[in-house]
Amino acid sequence: MKKNIVDFLVKAVVSLGLVGYLLWRVKWGELLPLLRSLNGWLFGLAFVLYLGAITNGAFKWFVLLRALEIDVPFLELLSYSFVGVFFNNFLPANIGGDVMRGYGLARYTSRTADAAISVVVDRLVGLTAFMFTAVVAAAWIVFAGGHDELKGVAIAAGISFGVILMLFALMLSRRIRALGRKLLGFRWTRMFLPLYEKLSAALDAYRFRYRTLFTAFWIAVGTMVITNFVNYLLAEAVLPGSIPLEYIFLFNPIIAFVLLIPISIGGLGLNQSAFVFFYGLVGVPEKIALAASLALQGVIYLSALPGGFLWWRWKKGATQPSTNSDFD
């Protein structure tokens, strides 16, 4: 328990330290006017779109569960997804929400192992789709658009996408998985073997359900596209024309990937640092990038409020496993 508290406090210090450093570097006096003049209509539209992205993500999970013949009403899954969003903002590395989604689903079905598997596969499919959109955007911007200064980002996105695809291949094919176990059997790679085994077991349930994985992949791509437009609307709300949409399609999935690094609370601070760094590569002023990231943080926190209410209902015992949704 003490270790968890210390870990949380360390990450809270990192989050606040990163935000404090950026505010000192950009200067609050330059940032405040941008936040005060934020276009409320565009901010509200971005918030609605973000709720749509959460709903689309819940539908992806619904498709994956149906393949395992776990019949859970969509609105029930949507409620678990909102609870996941709530916990993503208070636990490190954006994985706390996955744990709570699995917990919520386990309250509804006795197939707890399959419930956990669906959450893991849901996350893996999402990451694959995110990096796919980054690769497509990089190909368009760098190779078709001639932006050679972003070639390094394009190569990194391509390598990341290739690694994720390789992991899928390793885990879907039993022969390749056996080879993977041998490769991870060496002394300096043995530490990764337990994680590999868990991921492998998770994907094994979907080994012959390629159509389901393909469908879930394109749903996840849709989620990424929606969040790209969320970011674009917020950039327009801060200052019209400040961040071209094509750069958002390139950097937003990469930033989502970066936020998995477990050094902050819900990505706070790390998100802002990533915005400033990546958009700085294409000449976006630091104060604009920071203001856009803070606006996004506001949207994320607002979207987490329904999940907090639903979690409170769980704790109060108002919601029991049933076929009735919390949204009825």
Report the greatest alpha carbon distance in the chain: 60
**What distance in Å separates the CA atoms of residue 284 and residue 21, rounded to the nearest whole number?**
18
254 within domain boundaries = yes
**What distance in Å separates the CA atoms of residue 120 and residue 139, rounded to the nearest whole number?**
29
11 within domain boundaries = no
Residue 29 — pLDDT band, cuts 50, 70, 90? confident
From 162, 165, 8, 146, select the one nearest 87 (Cα to Cα).
8
pLDDT digits (tens, 9 = 90+) for 223-253: 999 999 999 999 999 999 999 999 999 999 9
User: Would the pLDDT of 149 be above 50?
Assistant: yes
- Compute how many other C-beta atoms are within 10 angstroms of the C-beta atom of residue 47: 18
**What distance in Å separates the CA atoms of residue 19 and residue 40, rounded to the nearest whole number?**
23
The reported pLDDT for the residue numbered 202 is 62
The reported pLDDT for the residue numbered 135 is 92
Give the list of residues 6+ apart from residue 277 with CB closer than 8 angstroms, or none: none
pLDDT digits (tens, 9 = 90+) for 166-220: 777 766 666 766 776 676 667 666 776 776 676 666 667 777 787 898 999 999 9
Residue 14 — pLDDT band, cuts 50, 70, 90? confident
User: Would the pLDDT of 276 be above 90?
Assistant: yes
The reported pLDDT for the residue numbered 201 is 66
- Which segment of 19-33, 182-196, 300-314 scores lowest on mean pLDDT? 182-196
322 within domain boundaries = no
Structural domain that includes position 268: 31-316
- Compute how many other C-beta atoms are within 10 angstroms of the C-beta atom of residue 146: 8
325 within domain boundaries = no
pLDDT digits (tens, 9 = 90+) for 41-61: 999 999 999 999 999 999 999
5 within domain boundaries = no
17 within domain boundaries = no
SS3 labels along 195-258: HHHHHHHHHHCCCCCHHHHHHHHHHHHHHHHHHHHHHHHHHHHHCCCCCCHHHHHHHHHHHHHH
Residue 328 — pLDDT band, cuts 50, 70, 90? very low
The reported pLDDT for the residue numbered 93 is 47
321 within domain boundaries = no
User: Would the pLDDT of 322 be above 80?
Assistant: no
The reported pLDDT for the residue numbered 38 is 95
97 within domain boundaries = yes
Mean pLDDT, the chain, rounded, equals 83
- Compute how many other C-beta atoms are within 10 angstroms of the C-beta atom of residue 18: 20
Q: 187 or 152: whose pLDDT is higher?
A: 152
**What distance in Å separates the CA atoms of residue 104 and residue 101, rounded to the nearest whole number?**
5
Number of domains within the chain = 1
